[in-house]
């Protein structure tokens, strides 16, 4: 998949909304899957499986534990598509296809 095929944040948010059954408006970059969205473990497993399908490859257990927020998930997705970024580094989506990393 080339960079031109990277989902925008809004498209990614739509994917999450469809998978999790929550309104897109609550899926902000800082929204925590457990604390803010109250997503249960079964839904998280379903999300992980759909996420792997979207990426076309398996997400390691270590990486899955590092994805805590919607922004983390999008950062991981973009990083995997671009082949450089990994989960576990805090970051926030500034605009649709820009990922900002905080050291």
- Hey, which bits of 1-103 come out as E strands? 91-95, 98-101
Higher pLDDT, 9 or 5: 9
| pLDDT tier, 90 (very low <50, low <70, confident <90, very high otherwise) | very low
Q: Are 76 and 63 in contact (CB under 8 A)?
A: yes
Q: What is the pLDDT of residue 98?
A: 40
Q: How far apart are CA 81 and CA 7, in angstroms?
A: 10
Q: Which H or E run includes 2?
A: none
Give the tens place of pLDDT for each residue, 13-71.
999 999 999 999 999 999 999 999 999 989 999 999 998 898 888 998 888 899 999 99
């Amino acid at each position: 998949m080339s960079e031109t095929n990277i989902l925008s944040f809004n498209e990614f948010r739509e994917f999450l909304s469809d998978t999790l059954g929550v309104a897109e408006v609550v899926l902000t970059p800082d929204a925590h899957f457990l604390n803010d969205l109250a997503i249960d473990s079964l839904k998280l497993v379903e999300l992980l499986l759909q996420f792997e399908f979207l990426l076309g490859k398996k997400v390691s257990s270590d990486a899955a534990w590092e994805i805590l927020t919607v922004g983390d998930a999008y950062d991981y997705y973009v990083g995997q598509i671009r082949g450089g970024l990994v989960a576990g580094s805090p970051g926030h989506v500034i605009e649709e296809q820009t990922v900002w990393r905080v050291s």
